[in-house]
């Protein structure tokens, strides 16, 4: 193995990450900035061409990180929510000039349907962004970024983000164990299944409270909060991190300037506009996709570099 291969292996061992992506080896500041920009893009550029392109790009980013199972599950959940939003928005919002149909006095307009569809796409992109975020932005990186600014708020945020998936795993384990004792929610009458569900929730809450008390005692014994904390894992800000961060800031600033000029934002109310993009609009779309595809670009560059080095 040459010097480059040895340095890359050492970097991967030192990082302690599950994924081998080059993107995960960047400084936490760069990684966090990328996800903030990706979330902002999904909320700022409300245009079908932009949103569909961003959705496909985030699917590719998650597939690159070997998140096939999580990506598929997220898309299935997002599809249900998208259908719900697309159906409910025209019913609750009757604004618009292009009337499609009328049902019992409820006016269905093309503007309301389009707006619901775009909001649903934006929500699906956000869900996929957080799937990738949960893998790349580990707890140690999050602590490294914010523990010096606000230790209590950082700890509370980490506990909150860990709360839901931890409860789901515990509930699944408890349900599997209690099924051997005949306690299950899948069979029986509605009353029996409700009773079984309440028993499972009781076990889950008791287990979680006991674990919380043990965690609090452990933190007290280790002196948490007695003085200012430092991070045991240091992340060096390299020249590569500087170039990547500068490119992200410059590219996103240009994109947000275009958005301020109305580019990449479809006019919906009071009358639906055209989805046609001019030359500046296509340029803005290319910049947005380049920024969203940062993990893909880094991995492609690494592959080419590795091939040339061999």
- The answer, yes or no, to whether residue 275 has pLDDT greater than 90, is no
Asked whether 91 and 106 are in contact (CB, 8 A), the reply is yes
Cα–Cα dist 75/68, whole Å: 10
- pLDDT value at position 197? 79
pLDDT score, position 228: 64
Q: DSSP per residue over the chain, as a string? A: --HHHHHHHHHHHHHT-S---SGGGS-HHHHHHHHHHHHHHHHH---HHHHHHHHHHHHHHHHHTT-HHHHHHHHHHHHHHHHHHHHHHHHH----S-EEEEETTEEEEHHHHHHHHHHHHHHHHHHHHHHHHHHHS-HHHHHHHHTTT-HHHHHHHHHHHHHHHHHHHHHHHHHHHHHTTT--SSSS-HHHHHHHHHHHHHHHHHHHHHHHHHHHHHHHHTTTTSS----SS-----HHHHHHHHHHHHHHHHHHHHHHTTTT----SSS-------HHHHHHHHHHHHHHTHHHHHHHHHHHHHHHH-
Partnered with residue 206 across adjacent β-strands are: none
Query: What are the tokens at 122?
Result: 């934006």
Domain ranges for the chain = 19-149+241-309
More confident residue, 14 or 307: 307
139 exposure class (CB count in 10 Å sphere: 0-12, 13-18, 19+): exposed
Residues 6+ apart with CB under 8 A from 218: none
Q: How many residues does the chain have?
A: 310
Q: Which two tokens stand for residue 154?
A: 């950082």
pLDDT of residue 66: 81
Look at the block and give the residue holding tokens 């985030």. 58
Percent of the chain with pLDDT over 70: 83
Higher model confidence: residue 7 or residue 128?
Answer: 128
What's the angle, vertex CA 232, arms to CA 229 and CA 234, rounded to 5? Answer: 115
**How confident is the model at residue 142, as a pLDDT?**
77
pLDDT value for 262: 86
pLDDT digits (tens, 9 = 90+) for 45-64: 988 899 999 999 999 998 88
Q: What is the mean pLDDT of residues 171-199?
A: 78
Contact 37, 248 (CB under 8 A): yes
pTM: 0.71
Q: What is the pLDDT of residues 234-273, one digit of tens each?
A: 778 889 889 999 999 999 999 999 999 888 888 777 777 7
Q: Evaluate if residue 10 carries a pLDDT over 50.
A: no
CA 270 to chain centre: 32
* 40: confidence class by pLDDT, cuts 50, 70, 90: very high
d(CA 265, CA 3): 48
Tens digit of each residue's pLDDT (9 = 90 or more) over 290-303: 999 999 998 888 88
- Here the tokens at position 151 are 């230790």
Q: How many Cα atoms occupy the beta-carbon half-sphere of 169 within 13 Å?
A: 5
CA 121 to chain centre: 14
């Amino acid at each position: 193995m040459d010097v480059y291969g040895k340095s890359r292996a050492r970097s991967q061992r030192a990082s302690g990450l599950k994924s081998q992506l080059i993107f995960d080896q960047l400084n936490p500041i760069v990684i966090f900035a990328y996800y903030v920009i990706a979330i902002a893009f999904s909320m700022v550029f409300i245009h079908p061409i932009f949103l569909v392109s961003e959705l496909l790009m985030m699917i590719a980013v998650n597939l690159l990180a070997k998140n096939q199972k999580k990506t598929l599950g997220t898309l299935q959940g997002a599809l249900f929510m998208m259908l719900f939003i697309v159906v409910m928005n025209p019913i609750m919002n009757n604004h618009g000039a292009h009337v499609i149909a009328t049902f019992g006095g409820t006016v269905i307009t093309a503007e309301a349907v389009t707006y619901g569809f775009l909001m649903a796409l934006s929500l699906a992109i956000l869900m996929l962004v957080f799937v990738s975020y949960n893998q790349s932005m580990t707890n140690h990186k999050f602590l490294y970024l914010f523990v010096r600014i606000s230790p209590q708020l950082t700890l509370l945020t980490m506990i909150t983000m860990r709360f839901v998936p931890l409860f789901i795993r515990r509930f699944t384990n408890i349900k599997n164990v209690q099924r051997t004792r005949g306690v299950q929610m899948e069979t029986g009458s509605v009353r029996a299944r409700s009773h079984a569900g309440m028993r499972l929730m009781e076990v889950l809450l008791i287990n979680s409270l006991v674990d919380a008390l043990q965690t609090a005692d452990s933190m007290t014994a280790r002196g948490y909060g007695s003085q200012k904390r430092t991070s045991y894992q240091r992340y060096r800000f390299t020249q590569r991190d500087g170039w990547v961060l500068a490119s992200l800031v410059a590219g996103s600033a240009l994109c947000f300037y275009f958005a301020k000029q109305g580019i990449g934002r479809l006019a919906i109310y009071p009358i639906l506009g055209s989805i046609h993009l001019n030359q500046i609009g296509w340029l803005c779309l290319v910049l947005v996709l380049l920024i969203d595809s940062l993990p893909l670009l880094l991995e492609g560059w690494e592959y080419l570099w590795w091939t040339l080095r061999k």
